[in-house]
Structures are given as C-alpha cells and as structure tokens.
A and B are shown apart, each in its own frame.
Chain A
Amino acid sequence: MILTLAFRNLFHDRVRLAVTLIGILFSIVLVAVQLGLYLGASRMITANIDETKSDLWITAFGAKSFEDGGVLLSSRERHQALATPGVANVTPILVSFSEWRKPSGGSTRVVVVGADAEDGALEPWGLVAGDWEAIKAPNGIAVDETYLSDLDVTGIGSTAQIGQGRVKISALTKGIRSFTQSPYVFMPLSRARQILGYGSSEATFHLVKLREGADPEVVRQALLNRLESAEVLTKQEFTDRSLTQWLFRTGAGVALIGGALLGILVGTVIVAQTLYSSTKDHLNEFATLRALGSSSSYIHKVILAQAGLSAIIGYGLGMTIALLVVFASRSTPLPIVMTPGLAAALFSVTLFMCAISAVSAIVKVTKIDPATVFSR
C-alpha cells in the first residue's frame, strides 16, 4: 500500500508531477551531458596512452601530457634503459604540435605522432581505410575522418604539407579525436623526425616494455637511478598527469564538473519544492495515517516512495533525451560519452537527489500533530 499511496499521491496532481519530472529530466540531461563530455574528454586525452603496449613511460622532467612532452630525450636515455635489468624493450615515439598547411591556403595546428608499429609501441587504431603498410609508403600518414574538413582534405590520396615535408593521406581512422582540437597525424617515427626537423635519435618519450615477471616498481626504481635527466612514470601516472593538465589546469574539467553539480543542485531544489508542496497538500492524510497508528517510518516510506517513483520516471525520461543528445554528438569533435557505468551512476545520483529532496517533506511530516484530525 505504501507504493500505491505514493503513486496515487504523485499522479493526483498531474501538473505538479509534470513540474517534478521536468525538474528531474532537466537535471539528468544536464548532468549526463556534462559528465558525458567529461568522460569523452578524458578518453580523448588518454586514448593514445591507453593504446600503447608499454609498462613504463620515460619522459623529460616536467612533461605535462602526451601532447606536451617538454624537451626531447636522446638515445642516451634509451640505451641506459635498455641496459636496466627487467627491461625487455624501449621504443621511442615522437609527439609534437606542428602546422598543417591546407591545400587551399591557410594552416591549422596538428599533433604529429611518430611511432613505428613494428616496435609494438603505438600505431593508429580504428583504421577504416588503408593500413600500416600504406602509412609506411612515401609521405604516408593517417588522420581521423572527423577532421577531414578541418584539414581541408577529402580523404585517401589528399596531400598537404606539415613543417618541412609533404604528406599524403594513406589511411583513415574513425574515433581518434583530439581534446586540443588539433587533429592527430600518425606517421612512422623517421618521417616525423624528418619533417619536424629533429635529430635521428631524438624522441619525446621512450616506452618501456618489461620482461615477463619483472616487478614494475623495482624496474622503475632502477631506471630512476640510472636516468638523471628524465622521469619514469607508470602508464596510470602519465594518464593522471595528462588528465590533470588538460582538465584541471585549463579549467575545462572544473567547468564540466561544476555544470554537473549545478544540474544536481537545480534538480534537487525543484524536486524538493514539489515534494514539499505535495506533502503539504496531503498533510491531512498523513495526519490520519498517524492517528490510525502508523509509525513515523511508514509515513517516511510513503514520501520516500514518492521521491523514488519520481526518480525512476524522471530518470527514464531524462536518459531517453540524454541518449538522443549522445547519439547526435557522436560525429562531432567532442562527442558525449555514455557508458553503462555512467548510466548507473546517474541513476544513483537521481535517487540520491530525490532522497535528499524528500528531507524537507519528511521534516514537515514529522511535525504532524495527529490531533488535527479531530479539528476538521
């Protein structure tokens, strides 16, 4: 009967129910979009790091992110690392911002990623046209199809100029977005060095693969002892550092999380207001229940059930719209991501929001004097 009463109380006033649901819906969509953007941005920032098959990253001191690796490392660090017990392989990669000169004039910034797939370090993933062999062909590069118009090219076979070299699109990826909005351009390491004008042994990072059974922490300590002018980071540490750089030092993440919190706050206030007014309207009935001998907790359960039902209906409606927004954003440079985990988290947030909203109503109902049933 608790659910029945809660359901009937909710649906008794359809206008108020609509206001409640719009409040929850607005909140859910706002939080979903903000957190979806946050998640999408996080994935973009860490995608290259996640795709590498390395155990440890050797970076210059103060390297801020994958795109901003700081000063270049030399082959000295690589050889020192190779000589460290427990290290199986050390692969250099080069990452650097550069200018892409558009075929029809003008330029845009791109992030050149030079790596050799044969070394097992990093290769473009999600290829929808061409392959690594095509990228290895003279002037060959891979870009993501999302950025073709930004780069002023049409697809496979299009040419352009980066730095000192001419490049030709020989492969296309799908879904490799850049948080900086500077598209990634994948090419073999030697060509990257050449067109960027770097030395033949210079690299932005050295990716370390450990021997089987080697203790990462022990190897890391050994590397730190040998490498005086470099940092050694685990994959997770470098991921965290990249996220911190782009999401928090730039304020982007704070804005997204702030927006999500604002959504929760607005939703909570709207739901609290409508639940409170609904409780006030049904105060006589709650007083009657109390007079009939119901415990306080029984009445609290009715209010919480009202909040829970509002949450479930509002979540269903909100998620439907949020998923439509996610679908609409899938081909944009900053797609909104929705995962089962995020959907579950949003449901928990909605329930929490509605439960918190019920507090004012519960406080109100706790003060009911059942004797009022005799005064009407």
Chain B
Amino acid sequence: MSKDRVLVARNIVKELGRGAGMVQALKGVDIELVKGELTLLMGPSGSGKTTLLSILGCIMTPTSGTLSVDGASTDELGPEDLAHIRRDHMGFIFQSYNLFPTLTALENVRIALDVRGTHGFKAASRSEEVLRQVGLGHRLMNYPSNLSGGEQQRVAVARAIASSPAIVLADEPTAALDSENGHAVMALLAKIAHEQNRSVLAVTHDPRTLAYADRVVRIEDGLIVGEDRRPEGLDAPEVTDLTKRRKAHA
C-alpha cells in the first residue's frame, strides 16, 4: 500500500495571526492520501479543514510539520517551487468554480494545460477529450455565464484532471449545486479516483457526498478526530451514509 501513497502529512501545525490574536488552526494533523481513493475531509465550520486543504495543496505552508508529495519533501520550498509541485502533481476544484469568465469552457481547460507547458493542438485536443469525459462535449465553446452551475463545476473538474495529476483536491465541490448536479459531480470524482487511479480529497460538509467516499476523515478544532473507511464490497452510490453502510455490513 505504501507505494500508492502520493501525499503524506505529519504533525501539521498551522498558526494564523500574530501575538494575542494568534489562532492555532491545525494542532498536529497526520494524514495520507493514496491512489485510487476518494477521501472526504469533513468537519464543522472553523474546524481547520480548508486550512488543511490549503496546506496539502501546497498553497499554504505549515508552521511546523512535514509534507511530502510523491515522495518528495516540500519543507523549505519557496512559493515558486510550491507552484511547481501544484503544477506537476495536483488539480484543484473550487467551491465557486473559479472559471475565467472571459474564456470558453474549452479555453478554461486549456489554460490549466498552458500553465503546465502544454500548448497548441495537443492542449486543445486534450481539453476537448476531458470535457467530453465529463459530459460537456456539446458545450466546448460556451462561456461560463452560459453554463449551469453543474456544468461549470464539471468544467472545473475537467480543468483539474486535464493534466492527469496524481492528486485532485476539491473544496466543497457540491456546496453550490442542487441535488442532481451534486450527485453527478461526486460520481465524477469517484470515477476519477477509481478508474483513473488518482487520489481525490474533497473537503465537504454535504452528507450527500458520503455515499461516494472510500474514506471519511473527520476534523474538529484542528485535530483529526476520526476516520471511517468504506467496507469492502460496497459500491457507490448505492448507500448514502457510511454509518448506515457499516451497520448494514455488520
């Protein structure tokens, strides 16, 4: 199993603010992400889940602790090196999609490849390919303003997976979506994890997402307080809650 670990975080501490206003958002978190698995990071507001996601995504640096991505330590790396790691190993999906309003769906995916050094026809055909994978082959030339919320999030998913990253990090991917679109996006993330053998971590507090998880990590007050794993033999999305599934399995 250890060879499938793509991200390992050990004793992550993050302090925000200074002096009397300083808050310890993370108080020593250990977490690993492995290939082929959809992990949900759940917790109440202010529990530190977004801070942890930022650190795991090399967007924020921890106050202390170690993080390694694909076996390489990120300690002591500067902003440009961290950007390089994000570029090479990660794809991001944001709660509010963060699409470029002036670019078409195809161009929104292409730009993610462009920053990674893939240009021209190769980038265009790959972008089209992933947009077709997420069911948007008929919306290539549409601007975000002409797409529904669910479609925009699927463009964001396509953008995240276009460069075939080992890790996909999603921040509340279903928060802005209705039930149908929320399920569609989660099914897509599960498919990406399982069929493309990627590690997907989604921060969420949406119970609808539980059905798709291989693993649920719970965080409270900056500490990991529990972890549930999908019992063997149960396939998503037939059940909607891990707790129920565990009971059913027992």
Contact = CB atoms under 8 A, between A and B. Distances in A.
A47 B92 CA distance: 68
B59 A371 contact: yes
Interface in B33-64: 50, 53-54, 57, 59-60
B98 A5 contact: no
Interface in B59-111: 59-60, 79-80, 83-88, 90, 92, 94-96, 98, 100-103, 107, 110-111
Interface in B160-203: 171
B90 to A, nearest CB: 7
Contact of B59 (A8, A11, A291): A291
B102 A291 contact: no
Contacts of A376: 94-96, 98
Contacts of B114: 1-2
B115 interface: yes
Interface in A2-46: 2, 4-5, 8-9, 11-12
Nearest to B50: A374
Contact of B86 (A4, A11, A292, A298): A292
B116 A293 contact: yes
A2 to B, nearest CB: 7
Interface string B128-139: 000000000000
A373 interface: yes
B246 interface: no
Chain B interface residue number, banded: 35 or more
A362 to B, nearest CB: 15
Contact of B98 (A9, A12, A288): A288
Residue among A2, A12, A374 with the highest chain B CB neighbour number at 10 A = A374
Given A1-B119, A294-B87, A374-B50, A289 B111 contact: yes
Contacts, number: 83
B112 interface: yes
B100 A290 contact: no
A1 to B, nearest CB: 4
Nearest to A372: B59
A370 interface: yes
B102 A288 contact: no
B238 to A, nearest CB: 31
Nearest to B53: A374
Given A291-B92, A371-B60, A374-B171, A284 B115 contact: no
B80 A295 contact: yes
A370 B60 CA distance: 8
Contacts of B83: 290, 293-296
A370 B103 CA distance: 20
A240 B194 CA distance: 80
A373 B107 contact: no
A291 B57 CA distance: 9
A237 interface: no
A288 B96 CA distance: 11
Given A4-B107, A5-B100, A12-B102, A293 B94 contact: no
Nearest to B119: A1
A374 to B, nearest CB: 5
Contact of A292 (B87, B96, B107): B87
Residue among B80, B85, B87, B111 with the highest chain A CB neighbour number at 10 A = B111
A4 to B, nearest CB: 6
Interface of A: 1-2, 4-5, 8-9, 11-12, 284-285, 288-296, 298, 370-371, 373-376
11 contacts: A1-B110, A5-B102, A285-B101, A291-B57, A291-B86, A292-B86, A292-B159, A295-B84, A296-B80, A371-B60, A374-B50
Given A291-B98, A292-B112, 9 more contacts: A285-B100, A291-B94, A292-B87, A293-B86, A293-B90, A294-B83, A371-B60, A373-B94, A374-B59
